[in-house]
Amino acid sequence: METKEAEKITEEFFKERFPDKDIAFEKQCGYFGEWVERFKSGYPEYHMDNQSLRIWDKMKKMEIKKCCFCEQDITGYGNNPAPVKANNLKCCDKCNFNIVIPARVKIIGEYEEFALEEAREKHFEDKEKENDI
Ligand SMILES: [Zn+2]
């Protein structure tokens, strides 16, 4: 995570966790910077008490995700972009409809064609065996 992003998250986190604290003042002292580093590390949970963990969990769920195709903000849960992109990413409804679903349909179509071809081959093999008898 980049510093700017971590600072934004730290600010949001402080507002929730320490609502009576002055953020501008907190930024002056080391405590804010310490949390920025913790969020940057990717393991802020290690330093959190139960109340902080609840807030952080909520923040993660609400976190705005960007579509892995068009980079628009995704509202709601988003969609799994597999098999076009990795399934830990998310894509918006529009790209899901325009990119991901057609790709899935194509794969299914290719598979069906393959299965049909196999069935045909097997059919002719069976016929040949019958003729041998
Ligand atoms: Zn998109």
Structure tokens at 11: 């600010």
Cα torsion 27, 31, 35, 40 to 10°: value is 70
* Predicted pLDDT at 50: 95
* Predicted pLDDT at 62: 66
What is the CA(95)–ligand 1 centre distance, in A?
4
What is the CA(76)–ligand 1 centre distance, in A?
13
Are 99 and 70 within 8 A, CB to CB?
A: no
Give this prediction's pTM: 0.48
What is the CA(98)–ligand 1 centre distance, in A?
9
Q: Tell me the per-residue pLDDT of 36-76, one tens digit each, with 9 for 90 and over.
A: 999 988 889 999 999 999 999 888 766 667 899 998 888 77
Of 109, 72, 113, whose CA–CA distance to 92 is shortest?
72
Instruction: Assess whether pLDDT exceeds 80 at residue 15.
Output: yes
| Burial (CB count <10 Å: 0-12, 13-18, 19+), residue 31 | middle
Residues paired with residue 36 on neighbouring β-strands, in sequence order: none
**Domain extent listing, the chain:** 3-63, 65-133
What is the CA(80)–ligand 1 centre distance, in A?
11
Confidence at 78, pLDDT banded by 50, 70, 90: confident
What is the CA(27)–ligand 1 centre distance, in A?
35
